Amino acid sequence: MATITNKLIRLTAADPLGRQPDPWASFREIEIIELQWAQTYRHSLGKYSRFFVELENKRFLATRCPICSQVWAPPRPVCPDHLAITEWVELSGRGRVESFSILHHPSAMVPYIQPPYVLAYVRLEGADTLFAHLLRCSPAEVHIGLPVQVVYYEGPVAHPIHLMAFEPDNG
């Protein structure tokens, strides 16, 4: 007898539209197999790298357009409104919650945090955009307008964006 290591199931399918006669009657024996596909990427953080490098120094950087003075956080190397190369500026890391969601399922991207967890959109002091990140607090505590601050971690982390998160600003 032949052996197929990744065969999951063999079945006889019904016509999902219930037609009589079934136009596909001689194509209803179905076999399903399992395939695996894993890969590792070499991923440059490119012109955004300084943002991530400075998180190791517990500094939160954004970029400012030299023409319109808009401050972009997350940073953009080029202001899309002017196609101008921006300059780095440091922000305090304080801000307020503009909106949020409480997620009830684990995420493969943040395996170190147990659901329910909070994803918050934060209006940072000195920025013209909103910055999305984990807000590490009890879900019962979060509301629109909540003052928050950037907190820094030492790691180890799998992506330098996890060297930071938000926490409620109690001071």
Query: Rounded to an integer, what distance in angstroms lies between the CA atom of residue 44 and that of residue 125?
Result: 29
103 binds another protein (CB under 8 A): yes
DSSP letter for 155, please.
Answer: -
Q: Which of 28/82 has CB closer to Zn ion?
A: 82
CB 159 within 8 Å of CB 153: no
Q: Which of 30/85 has CB closer to Zn ion?
A: 85
Q: Which of residues 6-45 bind another protein (CB under 8 A)?
A: 11, 13-14, 16-17, 24, 27-28, 30, 32, 35, 37, 45
Q: Which of 1/108 has CB closer to another protein?
A: 108
**Of the residues 110, 148, 150, 163, which one makes contact with another protein according to CB under 8 A:** 110
Phi, psi of 119 (to 5 degrees): -105, 125
Q: HSE, CB side, 13 Å, CA atoms: give it for residue 89.
A: 21
Min. distance of Cβ 68 from Zn ion in angstroms? Answer: 3
